[in-house]
Amino acid sequence: MRHIDRTGVTPGVRRLIQPAGTGQGATWPGPGFVLAIGLALVLAAALAPAGLHQRPVPSWSWAVWAAVFAAALVVFTRAGLVLREALRRVTWLLPAVAVLAVPAALFAPAGSRLVVAAALGARAVAAASMGAALASWLGPSGLTRAVRQWRMPDRLADVFEATLASLTIVLRQVRAMLRAREARRPGFGAWSDLLAAPADTVRGFGRLVASLLLRSLERAEAIEQARRARGGAA
């Protein structure tokens, strides 16, 4: 499991922002450089030809996707995750890949749809895995530092930081509410109930989402008041 200190900084980001000449910090680039390299790898995977437009999938595309996916696993380990946990996080991306990317293979010629579907899936998994690995390694604090190192306008950087803080709050609330929900259930998971009682299950998820929004708003207001109390801009 990864560890985060009281400031919200992960061990990987702490190594990145450690001043030069102190310990291992001299061998690490800044978060801005790491984010730039990671986004370049995401673009390389996303822009590699996948067999659409009636063209065969080039062999170098498979090499690019394999290299980016391997790099994503390395970044996950830099974030403090073991390989098994990294692969488990990658599997969370598979449903979105199957729904959003693979169906585009239907526009390919009939004889090559299977190969194109595999190529589209590999491209989406490689790009999404690298993005998720970057987010896991840098975290909200590292991403904010990276944006500020890019000399982005202060207003835009503040909006980006507030957005990441809000997303972090929402994710924490989701995990807490799902744990509480499962603790009150005799069984695990909601798919069986969705098949047996779809209306009640959907209604229950609706109440869960409404409660999540209310709790997130309350938490966001508390954080905003605390930020202003520390001297933050209004």
DSSP 209-224: HHHHHHHHHHHHHHHH
Model confidence, pTM = 0.66
* Res 48: pLDDT: 92
Q: Check whether residue 124 and residue 172 sit in a common domain.
A: no
Q: Which residues of 36-59 are buried (b: 16+ CB within 10 A; e: fewer)?
A: eebeebbebbbebebbeeeeebee
pLDDT (0 to 100) of residue 97: 84
Quick check: 11 and 2 in contact, CB under 8 A? yes
pLDDT of residue 191: 52
Same domain, 21 and 87: yes
pLDDT of residue 195: 60
- How much is the pLDDT for 74? 93
Q: What is the pLDDT of residue 194?
A: 56
Last residue of a domain, one of 116, 151, 186: 151
Is residue 56 within 8 Å of 112, Cβ to Cβ?
A: yes
Judge if 36 and 143 occupy the same domain: yes
Strand ranges in the chain using DSSP code E only, listed in sequence order? none
Q: What is the pLDDT of residue 25?
A: 41
The angle formed by the CA atoms of residues 185, 188 and 193, to the nearest 5 degrees, is 80
Both 18 and 76 in a single domain? yes
Residue 165, token pair as written in the block: 């803080």
Are residues 180 and 202 located together in one domain of the fold?
Answer: yes
Instruction: Kindly state whether residues 96 and 167 are assigned to the same domain.
Output: no
- Cα gap 15→175, rounded to integer Å: 28
* pLDDT reported for residue 130: 94
Residues 164 and 130 in one domain: no
pLDDT at 43: 95
125/207 same-domain check? no
Q: What is the structure's pLDDT at 196?
A: 65
**Does 92 share its domain with 135?**
yes
d(CA 114, CA 47) in angstroms, rounded, equals 20
Q: Are residues 28 and 144 in the same domain?
A: yes
Co-location of 163 and 143 in the same domain: no
* Residues 45, 148: Cα–Cα separation, whole Å: 26
Rounded to 5 degrees, φ, ψ at 21 are 90, 0
Domain limits at 183? 154-234
Give the rounded distance of the alpha carbon of 40 from its chain centre. Answer: 16
Mapping DSSP onto H, E and C, the string for 108-123 reads CCHHHHHHHHHHHHHH
Same domain, 138 and 158: no
> Domain tally for the chain?
2
Q: Where are the beta strands (DSSP E) in 26-175?
A: none
Among candidate residues 119, 151, 183, the one where a domain is terminated: 151
Each residue's pLDDT, cut to its tens digit, for the chain (234 residues) gives 444 444 444 555 455 444 433 344 444 568 889 999 999 999 999 999 988 877 888 999 999 999 999 999 999 998 888 988 889 888 888 888 888 888 888 887 777 888 989 999 999 999 999 999 998 898 888 888 888 888 888 888 888 887 887 777 777 777 777 777 677 765 555 555 556 666 776 777 777 777 777 777 777 777 778 877 877 655
Q: Where a domain ends, among 95, 128, 151?
A: 151
